[in-house]
Amino acid sequence: MSVLEIVLRSVAVLVCFMVLPLVLGQAEHKVMAHMQGRLGPMKAGGFHGWAQLIADGVKFAQKEDIVPRAADKPVFRLAPAVSMFSYLLALVAIPFTPSTVAGDLPASLVYVLAVSGIATVATLMAGFGSGNKYAMLGAFRSAAQLVSYEVPLILACASFAMAAGSLSIGGIVHAWHPIWLLWQLPGAIVLLIAATAELQRPPFDMPVADSEVVMGAMTEYTGLRFALFLLSEYAGIVVMSALFAALYLGGWNGPFDGALGFVWMLLKTAAVAFVVLWVRMSWPRLREDQLQRFAWFFLVPLALFQLALTAAGVIYTA
């Protein structure tokens, strides 16, 4: 791989990272508005307010950058960057077609799970570095959430890896068969729920709960740093939806997938992301202890059951 190619691939990932979350954010604005009998943004950019998030970005960039006196300044400043880099790195290994992947790693599934976990570290850095009680409570909650949700998330992913006999996301998509939609259904449920919790999206958003701990770890952030947190949240939804689409929905598989593979992948990702947005409109948030109970008494047993089911299936067909 030449230096030029590396630069080109990096730029491509960066462009995806800047564009996809914005598209998703705009979609959330519009989907939410229409579900609530509103229109949503209609002015910015002219056509149905398509440029609303760009306008928001400009607004954020103009805001004063405040670092509280009580904050642990380097940690406080670094946290949004860490959060962003986590999903930026994860996006590198997401394949859109067999050949369209920025970095084709042999164990890309493990890699994606590992680097997306870094985002939680950023939340902890922000929460403990802010010198604010609300932020600290938010950080406590996200730490507790991380511990209980990484387990079912990884167990569910392990099931897909076992079924495909590969730790590479591309390999898993290659091995995918429509029967997986049934066979891997319990694992898929666990994966979707755990990914939502990992992203701290409703109904698992108590670490940021705006009516209780006032955005939790993000309480003290302003301007561009706050915008970076938001950007990484939506990038996280993109990464997790793409992961779900690749593992369970067969990624680029579909009619004419030779030419239209990336379209299928994007459509499936969008469908999963839509579900993640939809849940936010319709459900209130759980309490932290209810979430833990849900994770350990429902998700983990279900994921273990899926593992056993997958193992039986693999042995039977071998």
Partner 1 sequence: MSTSARELTVGMGAGGLATSDMVLNIGPQHPATHGVLRLRITLDGERITKCEPIVGYMHRGAEKLFEVRDYRQILVLANRHDWLSAFSSEIGVCLAVERALGMEVPERATWTRTLLSELNRVLNHLMFLGSYPLELGAITPMFYVFREREELQAVMEEIAGGRLHYMFNRIGGLRDDIPAGWLDRAAEAVATVRRRMPEIESFIVGNPILNARTKGVGVITPAMVEQYGISGPIARAAGVDVDLRRDDPYLAYGELFSPGGPGRVITRPEGDSLARLEVLLDQTHVSLDLADACIEKLRSLPQGPVNVKLPKVLKVPEGSGYAATENPLGFNGYYLVSRGEKTPWRLKLRSASFNNMSCLGEVMEGELLADMVAILGSMFFVVGDIDK
What's the gap between Cα 64 and its chain centre? 28
* Omega before residue 203 within 30° of 0, cis: yes
Nearer residue to partner 1 within complex by CB, 184 or 200: 200
Minimum CB separation from partner 1 for residue 149, in Å?
A: 17
The Cβ of residue 298 has, within 10 Å, a number of other Cβ atoms equal to 14
Nearer residue to partner 1 within complex by CB, 74 or 283: 283
Minimum CB separation from partner 1 for residue 285, in Å?
A: 3
Residue 317 is which amino acid? T
Nearer residue to partner 1 within complex by CB, 177 or 287: 287
Nearer residue to partner 1 within complex by CB, 32 or 81: 32
Decide: 234 and 21 in contact? Cβ < 8 Å: yes
User: DSSP assignment of 143-201, as one string?
Assistant: HHHHHHHHHHHHHHHHHHHHHHT-SSHHHHHHH--TTHHHHTHHHHHHHHHHHHHHTT-
The Cβ of residue 250 has, within 10 Å, a number of other Cβ atoms equal to 22
Nearer residue to partner 1 within complex by CB, 282 or 317: 282
Interface residues with partner 1 (CB under 8 A) are 32, 35-38, 133-134, 137, 140, 202-203, 205-206, 209-214, 280-290
Minimum CB separation from partner 1 for residue 281, in Å?
A: 5
Rounded to whole angstroms, the Cα distance separating 74 from 71 reads 9
Residue 248 is which amino acid? Y
* Terminal-residue alpha carbon distance, the chain: 37
Minimum CB separation from partner 1 for residue 52, in Å?
A: 18
Minimum CB separation from partner 1 for residue 250, in Å?
A: 31
Nearer residue to partner 1 within complex by CB, 38 or 59: 38
Minimum CB separation from partner 1 for residue 247, in Å?
A: 27
